[in-house]
């Protein structure tokens, strides 16, 4: 058998080094992209938490949660103020976050307006604590894809309250065919919250929406301390 010459060995080593460098470049590129996505997610989650706190502060001052803004989700759309007319249905009480009234930035880390859905009974002052039922629910999916409740349950009631409001970021992409992302854009009571996934064949489709709720106990506690809760 003919042994490889030194030149052949050097050529094989060069090819191996090229392959290693190319693989490293791909991995570094993927790591860089993931780092940017994670940073944007972290900034948006911080904004969502800030929005939840601002909504509670608004209620502590005004005795109610604000109505949604009537503006669209596109950058520069809407005036950032809550709509002037009362919202009495779930559809009316779902729209964009009134960011200007809350003293918040207009957009999330991807340049999108935050969506906001609030239980109608919580937008009227004085808030009737003994009668108001928080109706916003959040679901996720188990390993088999079956939905389960993260916030709330089958029936929201005075004895088993759900959430008074939900704030939603649509993330960085709108994946065609994503059942769960499309559902969140149309939802006015039940919202989906899942770990980020780029798998279009995953149950519910690819997903990168982010959301938080306004906790009812904290809302009542802060309103009571401010003496705006009867």
Contacts of residue 57, defined as CB under 8 A and 6 or more positions apart, other chains included, come to 102, 222
| 191 falls within a domain | yes
In a domain, 142, yes or no: yes
With CA atoms as reference, report the closest residue to 113 among 65, 171, 166: 171
Distance from C-alpha of 116 to C-alpha of 37, rounded to nearest angstrom: 23
The answer to whether residue 187 is domain-embedded is: yes
Provide the residue range defining the domain that includes 130: 11-226
5 within some domain: no
> Could you tell me if 97 and 53 are in contact, meaning their C-beta atoms sit under 8 angstroms apart?
no
Q: For the segment 185-218, what is each residue's pLDDT rounded down to a tens digit? A: 999 999 999 998 888 888 999 999 999 999 999 9
pLDDT tens-digit series, residues 124-146: 999 999 999 999 999 999 989 99
pLDDT band at 25 (very low <50, low <70, confident <90, very high): very low
Strands (E) in the chain, as ranges, are 94-96, 115-118, 137-141, 147-151, 165-169, 190-192, 210-214
Tell me the pTM.
0.82
Number of domains in the chain: 1
Residue 4 in any domain: the answer is no
pLDDT of res. 9: 54
pLDDT of residue 3: 55
Q: Residue 31 has what pLDDT? A: 44
Question: Considering the domain boundaries, does residue 82 fall inside one?
Answer: yes
Is residue 24, in this structure, part of any structural domain at all?
Answer: yes
pLDDT > 90: what percent of the chain?
67
Residue 132 lies in a domain: yes
């Amino acid at each position: 058998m003919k042994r490889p010459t030194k030149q052949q060995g050097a050529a094989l080593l060069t090819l191996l080094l090229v392959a290693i460098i190319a693989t490293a470049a791909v991995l570094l590129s993927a790591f860089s992209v993931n780092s940017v996505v994670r940073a944007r997610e972290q900034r948006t989650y911080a904004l969502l938490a800030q929005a939840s706190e601002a909504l509670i502060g608004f209620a502590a001052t005004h005795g109610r949660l604000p109505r949604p803004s009537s503006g669209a989700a596109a950058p520069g759309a809407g005036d950032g103020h809550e709509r002037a007319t009362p919202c009495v249905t779930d559809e009316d009480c779902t729209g964009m976050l009134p960011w200007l009234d809350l003293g918040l930035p207009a957009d999330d880390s991807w340049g999108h307006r935050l969506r906001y859905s609030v239980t109608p009974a919580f937008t009227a002052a004085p808030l009737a604590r003994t009668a108001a039922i928080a109706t916003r629910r959040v679901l996720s999916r188990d390993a088999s894809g079956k939905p389960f409740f993260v916030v709330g349950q089958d029936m929201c009631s005075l004895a088993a309250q759900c959430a008074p409001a939900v704030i939603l970021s649509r993330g960085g992409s709108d994946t065609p065919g994503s059942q769960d992302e499309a559902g969140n854009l149309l939802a006015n009571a039940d919202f989906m919250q899942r770990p980020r996934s780029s798998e279009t064949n995953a149950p519910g489709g690819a997903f990168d929406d982010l959301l938080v709720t306004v906790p009812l106990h904290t809302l009542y506690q802060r309103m009571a301390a401010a003496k705006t809760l009867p």
